[in-house]
Amino acid sequence: MLKPAVWGLVDVTVHGRERLRDLSDPFIVVSNHSSHLDSPLIIGGLPRRLSRHLATGAAADYFFESFWRRAPTSLFFNAFPVERGFSQRQKGERGSRSRGMSGHLLNDGVPLLLFPEGTRSKTKAMGRFTPGVAALCISRNVPCLPVALVGAALAMPRGASLPRWGRPSVHVVFGDPMWAEPGETAHQFSERIASYIRELHDTTAQAVGLPRMQDYEEAALAEKMTRSLDSPDEKENDQ
């Protein structure tokens, strides 16, 4: 029900589904995160045999604080709460509960969709991946399925309620499933996953004429510099 609704608003191209031929439950889908389109794009892009039991990690403080968000999120995305944005002590306690729930789901053979950046990018560029997802892959001995989403941030930027008019183009790019190497730490595996997703994104973006991660980073830096140059004038005007 959700796929035709979302995919009717954007022009979706899926790449790399042939790489999923030998993938089976459980696994963890990992992607860059810049738009509310991300989860439905990934779920809709997966073959039905891989998406039918998929559970999506969603920010507890945003999607589970009110019934009107919690109900559709749970219904459409088979979502479970992931804690973020608390004090160090609270992060430890609530983060442990989130990891515990994730671990139990994987033990039961349920594949997961998680975003290691923790929140949607404010600049459209990919943020730092936290190592928790990689640690889960290592501790539960499951593969990571890397996915790059290209154009989603332009189609429906952070703060937008609906995609832009005119069915903007977005691309879902599935990479080869990844396993941690013997002796590889969670930080090392996480960095390797992030590097591969960036490569998938930029290769596709360049081929279809959309911005690469570097383009987003340079635009964000230019905007930051412009704001810093403007701020003295703003202070003078205030005086």
Q: Please check whether residue 77 lies inside any domain of the structure.
A: yes
Q: Please check whether residue 233 lies inside any domain of the structure.
A: no
User: What CATH number is associated with residue 18?
Assistant: 3.40.1130.10
Structural domain count of the chain: 1
Lowest mean pLDDT among 1-5, 59-63, 108-112: 59-63
39: confidence class by pLDDT, cuts 50, 70, 90:
very high
Q: What is the pLDDT of residues 196-224, one digit of tens each?
A: 999 999 999 999 999 999 999 999 999 99
DSSP string, 150-212: ESHHHHS-TT-SSPPTT--EEEEEE---B-PPTT--HHHHHHHHHHHHHHHHHHHHHHHT---
Q: How far apart are CA 103 and CA 139, in angstroms?
A: 9
Q: Please check whether residue 236 lies inside any domain of the structure.
A: no
Q: Please check whether residue 114 lies inside any domain of the structure.
A: yes
Q: Please check whether residue 61 lies inside any domain of the structure.
A: yes
Amino acid at position 105, single letter: L
Q: Please check whether residue 49 lies inside any domain of the structure.
A: yes
Domain interval for residue 19 = 2-212
Q: Please check whether residue 7 lies inside any domain of the structure.
A: yes
> What per-residue confidence (pLDDT) applies to 63?
47
> What per-residue confidence (pLDDT) applies to 91?
45
Whether the pTM exceeds 0.75: the reply is yes
Q: Please check whether residue 237 lies inside any domain of the structure.
A: no
Q: What is the pLDDT of residues 72-98, one digit of tens each?
A: 445 555 565 566 554 344 444 444 555
Share of the chain above pLDDT 70, in %: 78
Q: How far apart are CA 6 and CA 69, in angstroms?
A: 17
